Structure 1
Amino acid sequence: MIPSIRYSVIVLGVACAAPVHSDEITVFAAASMTNAMSELEMQFEAATGHDLVVSLAGSSALARQIQQGAPADIFISANPDWMDRLEQDGLVAADTRFDLSNNAIVLVAAGTDAAAVTVGPDMDLAGLLGDGRLAMALVESVPAGIYGKASLESLGLWDSVAPQVAQTDNVRAALAFVAVGEAPYGIVYATDAVAEDSVTVVGTFPPDTHPPIVYPAAAMAESDNPLNQSFLDFLRGAEARAAFERQGFVVVAD
């Protein structure tokens, strides 16, 4: 089951959150980090006595919110490209960006006893789908969807399944689509599959079929929150590393 976590509400293109005080820090994080951020929220608050407010969504949606002035202190993206865009816009605080973790993308099937498949050019994904849908995050903007499409194109499978792709706003929505049986298969992060007992990982996409999956983290230039550096240091610490690794991330931050 996916644990509960506090969300700030995103309405009409702007993230609605309480004003940031010195005892509160707001983190925008990719939806694929839901479980890990739930752990980190409890750990950070217990260790510091400060309040951690987390907004979770697709990295593209969060980046656009920041571009529109949303009050984020920290951004953790599932894709370097979206952090690059914010950096190019002057919205990333100098010398705060670092690569936090890596991930993998997997093919998941509905149910707990689906048969494994060999993910490669000979995989008959269209045949596996039949008349069903392939659940994926938005393939042109959400990192998990971008990586998934890149892999399918690299394997020569995209054209055969593209008409059956059901795109969702973020990777957790794609996972839920499979978990409830609305789609027989989906492409999600390995860490998402760990969080859902109602799906089976039936194959892993070779890492050389898509760009490296890197999660950068940084403070935002518009934020003057004194807790920013403390939280970024916390992300590099032993407790955070253990939380990320429990959810299947490969931590690369020192």
Structure 2
Amino acid sequence: MSTSVKAIVLSKIKYRDNDLIVSCYTQHRGLSSYLIRGAFKSKRSGTIAYYQMLSQLEIVETYKPNQSLHYIKEVKSSFVYSTLHTNVIKSSIVLFLSEVLANVLKEEEQNTLLFDYLETALQWLDSETNYANFHLLFLLKLTKHLGFYPDTKQIEVGVFNLQTGYFEPSAQHIYSISQENNSILKQLLIINFDALNSVKLNANQRQAFLNMLMQYFELHLGYFRKPRSLEIFNEVFK
């Protein structure tokens, strides 16, 4: 059965000599993988450009239940990025976030709210010139869709505990975060992307907070592993 769907590219690997396996997060069915036959042959090599990390696509797929790989009959961009794949810093963000997303998005079921969040956030990043803290807020808001968004009932007086996901009266646990990270977290929890410029961080603060977020993901997703690109990514933002 052929169906037209929207999809965001999470990862790709070369398969055999000329084929490509692409993993996408789709609007209608969550995670889905596709085999692109002949992607590296000269007559079709132009199609590879569609499958850059986090590209937003509209595809006509051939889907067969109970199979792990499906097929793409037609592909076009649903949104053409202006800067995401040409700006060096933004490209580094894309590489890092695509690795995180490929790691955490496992469900093969529809989640329209999550798809809309990814689509809108990436379009915001593409259009903005001040985005140094984007990845921090992006990952924090992502936890809402993954089921472990920080509980904010005691946000005014508490210290956040990474293990419990709650703000607690004092820092009495090994997973209580530092005072500086606690302050940054409180700022990020009450803003949206358009207010990111109000959060002023230097490179060391940004790196420390990102490392804390990675630990938070590890504690709440048993299968999560720190991205291989994390070290390189931190170097870019020094």
TM-score by length of 1: 0.23
TM-score by length of 2: 0.24
